[in-house]
Amino acid sequence: MRKVTSSMAGVVKGMDKAMESMNLEQISLVMDKFEGQFEDLDVQTGYMENAMGGATTLTTPQDEVETLMQQVADEHGLELKHEMGLAPSTTPVVEVQVQEQDHLSQRLAALRNK
């Protein structure tokens, strides 16, 4: 995060200089660099959100999840079937998420190697 902060500070200084000189080429280059850094930040943020989301999903006790589901069902007058465990698995969605995370991991590794 410190690296991102220092990079952004450099870009802002570059923007100030470009705006003072009103050099369109320099302004364009600085804006391109700024946009690239925001894309890098989006990748890093997405990676962290996925990692944190996965960690919290794995640490939530099953009985708390079932209790919450029953509470919501009771509030809305719904009947919660105990056969929900027999529902088909959503493996393809998990595979897509893994592929997306692999792609993000590759982008993050490429950013770190810069």
Contacts of 69 (CB under 8 A, 6+ apart): 80
**pLDDT tens sequence across 6-62:** 777 777 787 788 778 887 888 888 888 888 888 888 888 888 888 887 776 667 788
Q: What is the pLDDT of residue 92?
A: 59
Q: What is the pLDDT of residue 90?
A: 56
Asked if 40 and 111 touch (Cβ cutoff 8 Å), the reply is: yes
Domain boundaries, the chain: 2-82+92-112
CA distance 114 to 67: 48
Q: What is the pLDDT of residue 84?
A: 57
Higher pLDDT, 101 or 42: 42
What is the pTM for the complete model shown?
Answer: 0.37
